Chain A
Amino acid sequence: IILTQSPDTVSLSPGERATLSCRASQSVSSNYLAWYQQKAGQIPRVLIYGASTRATGIPDRFSGSGSGTDFTLTISRLEPEDSAVYYCQQYVNSRGSFGGGTKVEIK
């Protein structure tokens, strides 16, 4: 399954809302769709799993939604520390894959 993320890069100001898209080439169960944040020089960390469940310690300004082939990560009220690359990840038929990533820049 190919995951296509858009846009490639988004540049927004603190306090604005970011909407990141992840589109799958085939239907993905919502249970098996996750989102990760990777800051420069760091390992990824999970933000959302099961398409909409925030991982432990993740602020509520991060939210996930979607089903089937279209999923969205929303970051409301952007903060400077949200500057990172965001990846979606799916798991179907015992195989996983990641999207190409969306880079979020804070102006």
Chain B
Amino acid sequence: QVRLQESGPGLVKPSETLSLTCAVSGVSIRSNVWWIWVRQSPGKGLEWVGQIYPTGTTSYNPSLESRVTISMDKSKNHFSLSLTSVTAADTAMYYCARIDDCGGDCYFVDYWGRGTLVTVSS
């Protein structure tokens, strides 16, 4: 059974860095799939943040690209999100997730973490 579990501080001060980790169990993150982060501001819609492939290849939402970094630690079977210079607009539920790409012919989230709420406030 594939499981993803987000962890990290629930409260971050403005201008500081938000750091989250997604622990993956039931499957190796070395498998040839994309691992992604999605966020959802309170009462709002879903926002694709970015993704990482086991080769280390990443891609990011253009609106966040200057502040976001996604990395992977294969030895710990987890991947991480770092978002710098946060403001109240970054307050959201942050989900980590796995992509099923049908061997390259599709792209959708097949497994989600439960999400972790991060509030940006002094």
A residues sitting closer than 8 Å to B (CB atoms) are 31-32, 34, 36, 38, 43-46, 49-50, 53, 55, 85, 87, 89, 91, 94-101
- With a CB–CB cut-off of 8 A, which chain B residues contact A95? 48, 59-62
CB–CB B106/A98 < 8 A: no
Residue B102 CB within 8 A of the other chain: yes
Q: For chain B, what secondary structure do more than half of its interface residues adopt (helix, strand, loop), or is it mixed?
A: strand
Besides the known contacts A31-B105, A43-B113, A44-B46, 11 further A-B residue pairs in the complex with CB atoms under 8 A apart:
A31-B106, A34-B108, A36-B46, A43-B95, A44-B112, A49-B100, A87-B45, A89-B108, A95-B48, A95-B62, A98-B45
Binding site for A on B (CB under 8 A): 36, 38, 45-48, 51, 59-62, 95, 100, 102, 105-110, 112-115
User: B45 to A43, Cβ gap below 8 A?
Assistant: no
Pairs of residues from A and B, 4 with the lowest C-beta to C-beta distance, nearest first: A91-B107, A34-B108, A96-B48, A49-B108
- The reply to whether B109 and A36 contact each other, CB–CB distance below 8 Å, is yes
Question: Which B residues are in CB contact (< 8 Å) with A85?
Answer: 45
Q: How far is the CA of A38 from the CA of B46 in the complex (A)?
A: 10
